[in-house]
Chain A
Amino acid sequence: MSSLQSKDLLGIKGMTADEIKLILDTAATFRDVSERDIKKVPALRGRTVINLFYEASTRTRTSFELAGKRLSADVINISTSTSSVVKGETLLDTARNIEAMKCDMIIVRHSCSGAPEFLSKRLKSSVINAGDGFHEHPTQALLDMFTIREKLGRLEGLTVAIVGDIAHSRVARSNIYGLTTMGAKVRVCGPPTMMPPGIERMGAEVHYNMDKAVEGADVVMMLRLQLERQAAGLFPGVREYAKLYGLNPARVGRAANHALVMHPGPMNRGVEISSEVADGTPVILDQVTNGVAVRMAVMFLLSGGSKAEA
């Protein structure tokens, strides 16, 4: 396989191992571009990419913007605070107006699950899901898999523990789909109040005890805790949460010696991850670096590029 057949990237669910591998391999070739003095290749020159963000984001939006610019695409950012969204225009009307200005690719982040899929069915442009509700965040899972493969040399046969608020995490869902497709074993761990029903049917092993979940794991992937979930009664307090589900040096010690500590950011230091652990691992910032390369690969491949040209 050397190119992607689909118009859109909406989720990892349904992707084949070959497709995932193609994106990761292509990303590896783009990884070097960001290390050069002139961080630009002409691959998408003349193409227009719109970042349509209905939810606040710094990291992901910047990463997509840099990815587009390093591919020489023209990148425009639209975020809720500056757009017609506040005037009450519908999602579809907004997207159709953007498309009427002839763009090639729309990158959508939305707090409603399914919003990118809704647009993809109605627009000719490629749609990339930059995170929708609690559904999927495919480029995050791809950059996580890229990072794991880069550090540990493979994905197959690894054990990955994902810890935190699984119920409200699109990162967890995309990683479960991706990692299991690539032959890794996934454990999900968090309080039962944050464990969605039937998650085991997606191929993950469910744990409520973090010590057991990280035991011998090759990767410990921490999720951000939304502190406002406390008000909804999902956990009694930050102190108890940190005690039960926070990653500290003792728990890192339970994982495999070579274990990677990962976090999609932004981190709540002292809550889901202790500063000692956060500052002791270079991987979390490598994830961010790799994010640009992976998004370059996705944009390039969806624009009809093939690995040989990359």
Chain B
Amino acid sequence: MNIIIKNGHIIDPANKIDGKFDILASDGKIAKLGKPGSLSAGGAQVIDASGKLVVPGLIDMHVHLREPGFEYKETIATGTAAARAGGFTSVCCMPNTNPVNDNRSVTEFILSQARDAAARVYPIGAITKGSKGEELAEMSELREAGCLAVSDDGKPVMNAAIMRRALEYSKIFDMLIVSHCEDSSLSGKGVMNEGVVSTELGLRGIPYAAEDVMVARDLSLSELTGGRLHIAHVSTAGSVRLIRDAKARGVRVTAETCPHYFTLTEEAVRGYNTMAKMNPPLRTANDVAEIKQGLRDGTIDVIATDHAPHAMDEKSGEFDYAPFGIVGLETALALSLRLAGEDVLSIAEVIRKLSINPASVLKLNKGALSVGADADITVIDPDAEWTVNASQFKSKSKNTPFNSCKLKGRAAQTIVGGKV
């Protein structure tokens, strides 16, 4: 089975390619790149990518697929369909399922459910058993079963000694520790950013310091132990500054942010909009500006979605009782491309943070259009103007704050292992 993608503008940051080339994929692998019109293969399916961008298949390293346990919110089938619709060929799924992915059998179940999925699925295991923050989960077992990293995402590891041991122990395998940075004694029962808006709405606030102090702690622990740390969903200016400083002195840290943290502020919560309720919460314009600066100067390596599906019934009601989280897979690309429109990043830098950078962080041999690599390719129509209609999402859940937003840029084809 051969595919030729013709006349597209290839952007492959890892291989420093940014220009017009055709690309041939054979038997699920990338076979050849050549000047436009130079490639041919018998019986090849031809995709005309005129006016389009051809980039490495996008990778989202922070997704909640909800299976097992919460199939009413999302399944591996619907979540990967959403990923593919959004241009993502690979996703990492977080372990806060029921049961928690803290052992080989859950990892194996996820991988077996993902066998025929629309996108590749790479599980992330739990740092601690049941993500309770008390005892380390069996990291070697998780790794052998197929987990690329460990995280107690959704909950912080509040006990600093446990986090220290996790970072130390991870060095056996150079396993990545993904940290959800939140000091729960400071965030308390908070439901949105603490500030002027929470005061006006009378909602309990989560101060930026709840994130900053945990980022500072984990950076220090990574420095102490030499363990490889990845800070998930950076939402505050303080986190950006702390990570920037740590990187400058050589701490082994990487970081991600999500499209909502560089697109929206706490103002989106007004009217008790549960679609703008997530953890960490939307912050202020000052935080948005610093996150953009962090994306620009490389402090933030990765754009991930923190795709967190919830049923409409759960999101419809009292703000205090609504669960945290929004879906993101089907809006992330267009929201990220806005950064190019605003001259925060070049298009190539946006693609880098959605492909080769997460692959490098995960030590996953993906994210580049190298000859011989899996033919995971995303064809992007950068000029497509469209209006978000959540009811059309492939995701089972529709909880997005971007419904009815006009966006520009969209995945035209998402090719996974040479299959369109």
Q: Do B319 and A113 touch across chains, with their CB atoms under 8 A apart?
A: yes
Pull 10 A–B residue pairs with CB atoms less than 8 Å apart, ordered by A.
Answer: A90-B313, A91-B318, A113-B202, A113-B203, A114-B201, A135-B202, A170-B202, A198-B195, A198-B196, A198-B199
Q: Do A132 and B199 touch across chains, with their CB atoms under 8 A apart?
A: no
In the assembled complex, the Cα of A196 lies from the Cα of B200 at a distance in Å of: 9
Report how many A-B pairs have Cβ atoms within 8 Å. 66
Q: Do B318 and A202 touch across chains, with their CB atoms under 8 A apart?
A: no
B212 is an interface residue with CB less than 8 A from chain A: no
A residues apposed to B, CB below 8 Å: 13, 90-92, 110-115, 117-118, 132-136, 167, 170, 173, 196-199, 201-202
Q: Smallest distance from the beta carbon of B326 to chain A beta carbons, Å?
A: 18
Q: Do A114 and B319 touch across chains, with their CB atoms under 8 A apart?
A: yes
B259 is an interface residue with CB less than 8 A from chain A: no
B316 is an interface residue with CB less than 8 A from chain A: yes
B294-318 contact mask (Cβ, 8 Å, vs A): 1 or 0: 0000000000000000000100111
Taking CB atoms, residues of chain B closer than 8 Å to A13 are 200
Query: Which A residue's beta carbon lies closest to that of B314?
Result: A90
Q: Do A136 and B199 touch across chains, with their CB atoms under 8 A apart?
A: no
Taking CB atoms, residues of chain A closer than 8 Å to B196 are 197-198, 201
B223-239 contact mask (Cβ, 8 Å, vs A): 1 or 0: 00000000000000000
Q: Do A133 and B320 touch across chains, with their CB atoms under 8 A apart?
A: yes
In the assembled complex, the Cα of A199 lies from the Cα of B199 at a distance in Å of: 7
In the assembled complex, the Cα of A91 lies from the Cα of B271 at a distance in Å of: 17
B72 is an interface residue with CB less than 8 A from chain A: no
Taking CB atoms, residues of chain B closer than 8 Å to A196 are 198-199, 205
Q: Do B203 and A133 touch across chains, with their CB atoms under 8 A apart?
A: yes
Taking CB atoms, residues of chain B closer than 8 Å to A132 are 202
In the assembled complex, the Cα of A111 lies from the Cα of B189 at a distance in Å of: 13
Given A90-B313, A90-B317, A118-B317: A113 in contact with B201 (beta carbons within 8 A): yes
Q: Do B194 and A112 touch across chains, with their CB atoms under 8 A apart?
A: no
B272 is an interface residue with CB less than 8 A from chain A: yes
Q: Do A113 and B317 touch across chains, with their CB atoms under 8 A apart?
A: no
Q: Do A197 and B318 touch across chains, with their CB atoms under 8 A apart?
A: no
B residues apposed to A, CB below 8 Å: 194-196, 198-205, 271-272, 313, 316-321
Q: Do A92 and B317 touch across chains, with their CB atoms under 8 A apart?
A: yes
Query: Which B residue's beta carbon lies closest to that of A233?
Result: B185
Query: Which B residue's beta carbon lies closest to that of A196?
Result: B199
Query: Which A residue's beta carbon lies closest to that of B320?
Result: A112
In the assembled complex, the Cα of A110 lies from the Cα of B319 at a distance in Å of: 12
Taking CB atoms, residues of chain B closer than 8 Å to A111 are 320
Taking CB atoms, residues of chain A closer than 8 Å to B204 are 134
Taking CB atoms, residues of chain B closer than 8 Å to A112 are 318-321
Taking CB atoms, residues of chain B closer than 8 Å to A134 are 202-204
List 5 A-B pairs, minimum CB-CB distance, nearest first. Answer: A135-B202, A114-B272, A198-B196, A134-B202, A112-B318
Given A90-B313, A114-B318: A133 in contact with B202 (beta carbons within 8 A): yes
In the assembled complex, the Cα of A114 lies from the Cα of B272 at a distance in Å of: 6
Q: Do B318 and A118 touch across chains, with their CB atoms under 8 A apart?
A: yes
Taking CB atoms, residues of chain B closer than 8 Å to A173 are 200, 202
In the assembled complex, the Cα of A201 lies from the Cα of B200 at a distance in Å of: 9
Given A90-B313, A201-B196: A135 in contact with B321 (beta carbons within 8 A): no
Q: Do A197 and B205 touch across chains, with their CB atoms under 8 A apart?
A: yes
Q: Give 19 new A-B contacts, CB below 8 A, not counting A90-B313, A170-B202.
A: A90-B317, A91-B318, A110-B318, A112-B318, A112-B321, A113-B202, A113-B320, A117-B271, A117-B272, A118-B317, A132-B202, A134-B202, A134-B203, A167-B199, A173-B200, A173-B202, A197-B199, A198-B196, A198-B199
Query: Which B residue's beta carbon lies closest to that of A173?
Result: B202
Q: Smallest distance from the beta carbon of B312 to chain A beta carbons, Å?
A: 11
In the assembled complex, the Cα of A135 lies from the Cα of B199 at a distance in Å of: 8
Taking CB atoms, residues of chain A closer than 8 Å to B272 are 113-114, 117-118
Given A134-B202, A136-B202: A115 in contact with B318 (beta carbons within 8 A): yes
